[in-house]
Amino acid sequence: MQKVNVYMMSPSLVLPKLNASKKFWITLGVLVWLYLVVSNLPAVWGAYALTRGGDIAMNGVSGTVWSGRASLVSIKIKGMDQSVGQLTWKLNVFSLFTLKPCALITTKMDNQEFDGYVCVKGKNGISVKDASMSFPAALMQPLLPLSVSGQFALTIEQLEVSDSRLQKIRGKATWADGKIYNGSNWMNLGGLGADLVDDGKNGLNAHIVDISSPMRMDLNGSLPYPTGARVSGNLAMPEPYFREINAGAWLSMFAVQQANDAQGNIVYAVDLNF
């Protein structure tokens, strides 16, 4: 076998390999240097990136841009500031280079929690994915025509908001120990669930079903943008529960009684606009 003397090889064959290796190490060194610089920047830089859209406000910021904390945070919902308590984040440093900052965010407050991946989109938008949150049902009061109580929980696959308008949503919601005030007394709904999806026009659609409720429920709800809402579908409940909540006195305002089902439950067809 004939041996090849590398010293006899043409410089044009060797130098490209050396140049490629040199470029690799220079590029790696620059990336490491940028990582070290960015990860040690003050937390206020990260807070600015997350709040520049205007829908999030932070106070008492500490830590670094890579991993920080805010003692008090509020989010603008329907033009109103809603406190979410203490917030911590772990920023994806490389997302800063794309000018679309993203961070794993957690918040904690009495009966309120959030954990998910949040990204800034454009000047006035945010996106959320793979998130879970829970909060008192009373926080939804400004969006609803009835007084409510209980605990809401959301699992968000995807959510996008821009200029305080809903752009996209895919997720599921549950309402534990749900109650509504029907004008004369609190009505116990038990546990309910819903699949959430946007309507493509800045509004929200929901398919609502019973989970552990004394009534059977199969409803479709919509919250179109900018105002209004509609709920339609069917309710079914045993006669003792029907009498307990005095359902006949208020269901007739937005529902029409149907024939009893095979189990003897009292059935109503719902069509409510507000």
Predicted local confidence at residue 176, as pLDDT: 95
Handedness of CA 239, 244, 250, 255 (dihedral sign): negative
Tell me: pLDDT of 113 over 90: yes
- The predicted-structure confidence for 133-159, as pLDDT tens digits, reads as follows 999 998 877 777 778 999 999 999 999
What is the count of structural domains for the chain?
A: 2
209-239 pLDDT, tens per residue? 999 999 999 999 999 998 888 999 999 999 9
- Domain membership of residue 202 (yes or no) is yes
- The confidence band for 6, taking pLDDT boundaries of 50, 70 and 90, is very low
Encode pLDDT of 98-111 as tens digits.
Answer: 777 888 999 988 88
Q: Please determine, for residue 41, whether its predicted confidence score (pLDDT) is greater than 90.
A: no
pLDDT band at residue 13, thresholds of 50, 70 and 90? very low
Closest to 207 (Cα-Cα) out of 224, 220, 197:
220
Q: What is the pTM of this model?
A: 0.73
Same domain as 148, residue 253: yes
Q: Rounded to an integer, what distance in angstroms lies between the CA atom of residue 50 and that of residue 44?
A: 10
Beta-strand pair 165-181/230-237: unpaired
Q: Residue 159, exposed/middle/buried by CB under 10 A (0-12, 13-18, 19+)?
A: buried
Rg (CA), the chain: 28
- Note down the domain range covering 14: 9-39
Same domain, 274 and 155: yes
**Domain membership flag for residue 210:** yes
* Lowest mean pLDDT segment, chosen from 34-43, 177-186, 207-216: 34-43
Say how many C-beta atoms besides its own lie within 10 A of residue 164's C-beta.
15
106, part of any domain: no
Residues 128 and 241 in one domain: yes
Give a yes or no: residue 75 inside a domain: no
Kindly tell me if the per-residue pLDDT of 117 is higher than 60. Answer: yes
Task: Kindly state whether residues 156 and 267 are assigned to the same domain.
Answer: yes
In a domain, 246, yes or no: yes
Say if 119 falls within a structural domain: no
On whether the CB atoms of residues 113 and 99 are closer than 8 A, the answer is: no
**32 and 135, same domain (yes or no):** no
CB distance 267 to 251 below 8 Å: no
Residues 139 and 269 in one domain: yes
Same domain, 35 and 128: no
Confidence of residue 33 (pLDDT cuts 50, 70, 90): low
Give tens-digit pLDDT for 46-98. 677 667 666 778 888 888 777 888 888 877 766 677 778 888 888 886 776 67
Q: Is residue 32 in a domain?
A: yes
Residue 163, classed as helix, strand or coil, is: coil
* 132 is a domain residue: yes
